[in-house]
Structure 1
Amino acid sequence: MPELPEVETIVRDLAGLLPGARIGRVDVLRPDLVDGDEPDAFAARLKGRTVHDVARRAKNIVVGLGGERLIVNLGMTGRLLMAKSGEEDPSHLGVRISLADGRELRYHDVRRFGRLWVVGEEAWRSFDGGLGVEPLSDDFTPEWLHASAGRSRVPIKTWLMDQGRVVGVGNIYASEALFRAGVDPRRPANTLSATEAARVAEGVRQVLTDAIEFRGTTFLDYRDASGERGGFAARLKVYDRGGEPCPACGTPLERLVQAGRSTFFCGSCQR
C-alpha cells in the first residue's frame, strides 16, 4: 500500500504539471472507484474546472479546484498517471480525466480498493479534522509524541500506524523508523521514555525524508506519476528481510504479526 513517501512523490510530480490545467471530459469506467456521487454527477462536478494546486494530506492526493477538492486515495494498488491523449491505456484503467490541452490524468487500480471523491469546503474541514498529525510538519515534535504515546498501551508500531494519531506512516516505514530508533515494535507506547520518543520521532522523519528522496518504495504496484518505479526498496534495513542478518549487529532479523500486518525488527538492537 502506498505510504506517505509514495503519495508525496506523486503529488510533487503533479504539482509541477497540473496547476492551470482545465478539465474537459471525465470518463468513469469503474463506478465502484467513485465515492459520494453517482459517476455522472462526479464527472459533472469536475468538468470545466481549473486545477489550482495539488497537495497531500495523509496518504491522499488532494487536487484543489477552487472551492472544491478532488481527493484520490490509492488504496493498495492504485496509480495516478499523466499521459497524452492517444497513448495506450493501462490495463486496469478506472477513471480518465481529459484535460483541455490534450493530456490525460488516468487512475489505474488492479484491486480497486482506491477511491476518488469530490468535497466542498465543509466536507473537507470535517475530513481533514479527523486525521492525525503530519509527521513532516512542525507539529510532530518529540514532546508531542511522548505525551500522546504516553496515553496509550498499544504497541508503539501499531500506534504509529493509527492515521488518527500520525498520518502517512504505514507498515514499511513504521518498521524502518523503529529500527533506526532502536525501539522494539512490541513495546507499549506509554513505556517510551522522553529520550526514546525523541529517537522515534527522528527515525520517522529521517526514513520518510530519505524515501521521498529516492521517490518511494516499489515492491510490485507503486509507480510515480510518470509510471516509473520508486528507488528506496534496496535501501530498506529490515522490512521484508526476516531471517537475514541485521545490518547493525548480524543477528538474524525477526518477523512477527501485529494487527494483521508483518513486522520486521532486530531483537538485539531494538529494546
Structure 2
Amino acid sequence: MPELPEVEVSRQGISPHLSNQQLVKVIARQRQLRWYVPDEVLAQLNQPILSVTRRAKYLLIQLPQGDIIVHLGMSGHLKVLSADTPATKHDHIDLLLSSGMALRLNDTRRFGAVLWQHKGEVHPLLASLGPEPLSDAFNPAQLTQALAKRGSAVKLVLMDNQVVVGVGNIYANEALFKAGILPTRPAKSLTSAEINALVPVVKDTLAAAIKQGGTTLKDFSQADGKPGYFAQQLLVYGRGGQPCVTCSTTLNEIRLGQRSTVFCPQCQR
C-alpha cells in the first residue's frame, strides 16, 4: 500500500499538470471502488482546479464548490497522460483537463476511492485524523499526551491515525530503529528523552522518503512512471534475519498488529 511519502510524491507529480486547468469532465468506467463514486464527482463539469493538496493519505483536488478526494487504496496509482490514450482493464476514473490531458486512476484491486467533500465541510473520513507528521502540530508535547495512558505497543500507537497521520508500517519500523526504541514497548513506558528523540526521527524519515521519490513497493509508481528509491535506504524493514547495519546482530522479525515488524534486539531497548 502506498504510504504517506508515496502519496505526497504523487501529489507533487500531478499538481503541475492540474493547477490552473479546467476540469472538463469526469469519466467513471467503474464506479464501485471501495465506496461508490458519488454523483457529485461526475457533476463537476468545466470547473477550475484551484490546487491539489493532501491530508494524510488522501489527495484533495480543490474546486470552487468542494474537493474531489482520491485515496489510492492498496494498489491504486495515478498517471497524467493524453486524454485519448486507450484505457486498459483497470483504468477506472479519468479527470479530463482543458489541456487535452487526463488524470487517470488505475486500481487493480479497487480498494481505492474517489469521493466528494462540499466546500466548508469535512468528510467523515477526514474528521478524526490526527496532526500531519511534518507539521508543527506533531511535537513532543502532543505525542507525550497521546502516549501517556496507552499500554499497547508503541509501534501500533505510532501507526494510529488519530495520534499522527501517515506513519505507516515501513516508516514506523525505520523510525523506531533510528530512535533506539523497541516496537513492542508499551507506549506509556517511553521517557521524555525517548519521545524528544522519536519525533524528529519520524519527521526526518518521512522527509527523506519524499525527497527520494517514495519507496518502491509492488504497486506504486510516480505520476511520471519513475519508481521511488527510498527502498535502497531501508535499515530494518524487509531485512528480518539479516545483520543489523549498526551492530551486526541478527534482526528479529515478528508480527505485531498483523504487520511485519523488524527490530534489532541489541540496538533497540
TM-score (norm 1): 0.94
| Aligned residues of 2:95 and 2:102 also touching (Cα < 8 A) | yes
Structure 1 position 211 matched with structure 2 position 212:
no
* Residue aligned with 1:23, SS: strand
| Aligned ranges 1:41-56 → 2 under 5 Å | 41-44=40-43, 46-56=44-54
| Aligned ranges 1:21-100 → 2 under 5 Å | 21-33=21-33, 35=35, 38=38, 41-44=40-43, 46-100=44-98
Q: CA deviation at 1:87?
A: 3.0
> Which of 155, 161, 164 in structure 1 is aligned with 2:162?
164
Q: How many residues align?
A: 269
| Aligned ranges 1:1-271 → 2 under 5 Å | 1-33=1-33, 35=35, 38=38, 41-44=40-43, 46-124=44-122, 127-271=125-269
CA distance in 1: counterparts of 2:87 and 2:186, whole angstroms: 47
Partner deviation per Cα, 1:21-61 (whole Å, 9 max, x = no partner): 111222111111274654x55311x2221110011100111
Q: CA deviation at 1:127?
A: 4.5
CA distance in 2: counterparts of 1:136 and 1:17, whole angstroms: 25
Partner deviation per Cα, 1:126-176 (whole Å, 9 max, x = no partner): 544310111100011112212211121111100011111110111100000
Unaligned runs of 5+ residues in structure 2 are none
Q: CA deviation at 1:8?
A: 0.8
Letter in 1 for 2:144: H
Letter in 2 for 1:5: P
| Aligned residues of 1:34 and 1:117 also touching (Cα < 8 A) | no
Q: CA deviation at 1:227?
A: 1.8
Partner deviation per Cα, 1:99-142 (whole Å, 9 max, x = no partner): 12200000001111110101103542654431011110001111
Partner deviation per Cα, 1:51-107 (whole Å, 9 max, x = no partner): 100111001111111230011111111101111123353542111111122000000
CA distance in 1: counterparts of 2:114 and 2:132, whole angstroms: 21
Q: Which runs of 4+ in 1 moved over 6 A?
A: none
Partner deviation per Cα, 1:170-204 (whole Å, 9 max, x = no partner): 11000001001000000010000000011111221
CA distance in 2: counterparts of 1:250 and 1:37, whole angstroms: 50
* Residue aligned with 2:10, SS: helix
| Aligned residues of 1:181 and 1:202 also touching (Cα < 8 A) | no
| Aligned residues of 2:60 and 2:70 also touching (Cα < 8 A) | yes
Letter in 1 for 2:152: V
* Residue aligned with 1:199, SS: helix
Letter in 1 for 2:268: Q
Unaligned runs of 5+ residues in structure 1 are none
| Aligned residues of 2:11 and 2:52 also touching (Cα < 8 A) | yes
Letter in 2 for 1:43: L
CA distance in 1: counterparts of 2:121 and 2:257, whole angstroms: 30
CA distance in 1: counterparts of 2:80 and 2:14, whole angstroms: 8
| Aligned residues of 2:37 and 2:114 also touching (Cα < 8 A) | no
Letter in 2 for 1:27: I
More deviation in 27-36 or 105-114? 27-36
| Aligned residues of 2:23 and 2:46 also touching (Cα < 8 A) | yes
TM-score (norm 2): 0.95
| Aligned residues of 1:153 and 1:190 also touching (Cα < 8 A) | yes
* Residue aligned with 1:227, SS: coil
